[in-house]
């Protein structure tokens, strides 16, 4: 099998018909979602209601819609997880699965009720209520870069490049243009309804690959005979420090604006909690399928295949006519459902949290924000040499290291409150620490210490110092002492 072939060479007319139908239904869903958008009169007293309708679907997100949009939004990196599975085996299920399931349960059990009580519209707005306006701006900056869809821009570019043979940059531009056209209209409703179409297609796609693989090649015994022994080692041959970096990155879910937006939009606290529990079950099934898919691809194609695209080439030669087009559409739908949500949330952060005056001053500022973010994601995608894993690692490190500790402390504890300036200093110190540690040359044992550990450590130290000073009145004593010395002079 020639793995340099274009995807087109594997497809026939039935595949193209099925592939096209999926995207026709997606566009129909967007149009339908836009038509369901409620008309809010443009008066000053209704401004917030209009924003809630656009950004949160009027807080009327039902359980089925909640599950569909959360699952679809949160699983855009299918090429990344199949690549990790191809290279390291079941290590993928631990680092891209188990750690995340624990985080989802923490979110549902300990944060949902607190989040719903605030009636906030965005995560930075919630942070503003708890800590202050400066904290909200800092959080918005970190959130913004965390949801610029760099990894998913790369993913859709890789697929279009393999389909048509264009350059990666041109392929990413084509994919983004298509997404920008339909994600700029209709608000969250359009995103949610398109996610529902993509949800069903993506779940069916990965299941079909596993079922046909099992039928064609057999079960675990086939994989054991044709895979390196290390592929069945949960650690993947990586050090404990490296493994737990992914655990901390998974905790970034606790400060991810996409998760918060869906909870803010849910009809009730019960809907949000049940939705996360059901979504976790779906994610477990999905991860089992993608991990097995990556393993079968490695076993059949061998280790010389390109790990980034091997999964696609594998199922294209495995599946019959029609189903090839469906599964390819499912892979693309998995990516698109995440890109449109990320673009929407990034645009929300840009317009509502960072530059709110733009919404009032310019009628089309929301569309401008989406286009700007699309362009930014294209530029930044060129900074990671086509590595989706590197994007996740970098952005996840900053988000977790800088926001996780202060935000969770503010959510869970009330006795010693974090001041506005203290929050800003904690995030800034952590960001500086992460950046410096990434840049300095490290040898010996220090080479094993990831920058995320440095950022988390600095966050904890800064937070602890602030709490300690409050408890013993150190800052107040210093201020009083300075005043006394000044008066004596």
Mean of the pLDDT values across residues 278-283? 97
Percentage of the chain exceeding pLDDT 70: 88
Question: What is the mean predicted confidence (pLDDT) over 370-377?
Answer: 83
Contacts (Cβ under 8 Å, ≥6 apart) of 174: 160, 166
Q: Are the C-beta atoms of 249 and 102 separated by less than 8 Å?
A: no
User: Of residues 431 and 363, which shows the higher confidence score?
Assistant: 431
Contacts of 410 (CB under 8 A, 6+ apart): 127, 130, 131, 417, 418, 423
Mean pLDDT of 286-296: 96
pLDDT band at 140 (very low <50, low <70, confident <90, very high): very high
pLDDT surpasses 50 at 479: no
DSSP state of 38: P
pLDDT higher for 425 or 8?
A: 425
Percent of residues, the chain, with pLDDT higher than 90 = 45
Q: Rounded to whole angstroms, how far apart are CA atoms 371 and 203?
A: 29
pLDDT range class, residue 181, cuts 50, 70, 90: confident
Q: With CA atoms as reference, report the closest residue to 81 among 99, 63, 68, 67.
A: 99
Q: Report the alpha-carbon distance of residue 142 to residue 258 in Å, rounded.
A: 13
| Alpha carbons 347 and 221: distance in angstroms, whole number | 48
pLDDT, residue 450, reads 84
**152-176 mean pLDDT:** 83
DSSP 39: P
Question: In 3D, which of 1, 3, 11 has the Cα closest to residue 332?
Answer: 11
Q: Which residues contact 240 (CB under 8 A, 6 or more apart)?
A: none
172 vs 83: CA distance, rounded Å: 19
Mean pLDDT value of segment 121-149 = 91
User: What pLDDT was estimated at residue 45?
Assistant: 44
Q: Which domains does the chain have, with CATH numbers?
A: 7-394 (1.20.1730.10)
What would the mean pLDDT of 359-367 be, rounded to a whole number? Answer: 55
What per-residue confidence (pLDDT) applies to 223? 96
Mean pLDDT confidence for 436-446 = 85
**Which pLDDT value is given to residue 184?**
64
- Model pLDDT for residues 296-326, shown as the tens digit of each residue: 999 999 988 888 889 999 999 999 999 999 9
Per-residue pLDDT at 123? 93
Distance between CA atoms of residues 48 and 100, nearest Å: 34
pLDDT over 70 at 210, yes or no:
yes
Q: Averaged over 168-184, what is the pLDDT?
A: 80
φ and ψ of 32, to 5 deg: -65, -45
- Token pair belonging to 386: 């086509």
Q: How many residues does the chain have?
A: 489
CA distance 225 to 120: 54
pLDDT in tens, 228-247: 999 999 998 888 888 988 88
Tokens 């959510």 -> residue: 411
Say whether pLDDT at 226 is over 50.
yes
Higher per-residue confidence, 10 vs 397: 10
* CB contact at 8 A, 434 and 397: yes
pLDDT of residue 362: 47
- Is residue 90's pLDDT more than 70? yes
- What is the tens place of the pLDDT at every residue in 211-225? 999 999 999 999 999
Whole-model pTM?
A: 0.88
Least confident of 73-77, 226-230, 331-335: 73-77
Whether the per-residue pLDDT at 42 is higher than 80: the answer is no
pLDDT at 231: 95
What's the confidence (pLDDT) of residue 2?
A: 53
């Amino acid at each position: 099998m020639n793995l340099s072939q274009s995807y087109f060479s594997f497809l026939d007319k039935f595949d193209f018909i099925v592939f096209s139908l999926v995207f026709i239904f997606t566009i129909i869903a967007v149009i339908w979602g836009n038509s369901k958008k409620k008309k809010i009169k443009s008066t000053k007293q209704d401004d917030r209601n209009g924003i809630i309708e656009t950004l949160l679907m009027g807080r009327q997100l039902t359980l089925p819609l909640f599950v569909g949009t959360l699952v679809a939004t949160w699983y855009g990196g299918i090429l990344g997880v199949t690549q990790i599975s191809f290279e390291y085996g079941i290590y993928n299920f631990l680092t891209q699965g188990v750690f995340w399931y624990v985080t989802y349960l923490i979110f549902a059990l300990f944060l949902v009720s607190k989040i719903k009580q605030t009636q906030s519209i965005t995560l930075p707005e919630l942070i503003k209520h708890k800590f202050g306006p400066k904290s909200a701006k800092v959080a918005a900056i970190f959130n913004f870069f965390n949801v610029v869809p760099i990894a998913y821009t790369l993913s859709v570019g890789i697929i279009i490049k393999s389909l048509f043979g264009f350059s990666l940059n041109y392929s990413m531009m084509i994919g983004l243009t298509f997404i920008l056209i339909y994600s700029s209209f209709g608000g969250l409703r359009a995103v949610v309804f398109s996610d529902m179409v993509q949800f069903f297609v993506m779940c069916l796609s990965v299941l079909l690959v596993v079922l046909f693989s099992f039928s064609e090649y057999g079960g675990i015994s086939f994989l054991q005979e044709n895979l390196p022994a290390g592929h069945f080692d949960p650690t993947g041959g990586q050090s404990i420090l490296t493994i737990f970096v992914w655990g901390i990155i998974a905790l970034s879910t606790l400060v991810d604006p996409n998760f918060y937006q869906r909870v803010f939009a849910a009809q009730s606290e019960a809907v949000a909690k049940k939705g996360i529990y059901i979504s976790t079950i779906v994610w477990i099934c999905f991860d089992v399928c993608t991990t097995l898919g990556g393993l079968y691809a490695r076993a059949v194609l061998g280790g010389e295949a390109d790990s980034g695209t091997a999964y696609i080439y594998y199922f294209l030669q495995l599946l019959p006519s029609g189903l090839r087009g469906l599964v390819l559409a499912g892979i693309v739908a998995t990516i698109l459902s995440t890109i449109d949500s990320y673009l929407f949330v990034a645009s929300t952060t840009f317009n509502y949290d960072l530059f709110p005056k733009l919404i009032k001053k310019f009628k089309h500022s929301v569309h401008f924000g989406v286009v700007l973010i699309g362009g930014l994601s294209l530029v930044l995608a060129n900074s990671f040499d086509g590595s989706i894993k590197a994007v996740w690692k970098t952005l996840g490190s900053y988000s977790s290291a800088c926001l996780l500790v202060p935000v969770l402390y503010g959510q869970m504890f009330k006795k010693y409150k974090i001041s506005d300036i203290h929050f800003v200093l904690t995030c800034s110190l952590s960001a500086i620490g992460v950046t410096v540690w990434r840049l300095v040359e490290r040898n010996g044992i220090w080479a094993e210490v990831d920058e995320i550990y440095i950022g988390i450590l600095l966050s904890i130290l800064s937070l602890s110092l602030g709490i300690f000073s409050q408890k013993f009145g150190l800052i107040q004593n210093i201020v009083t002492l300075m005043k006394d010395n000044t008066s004596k002079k």
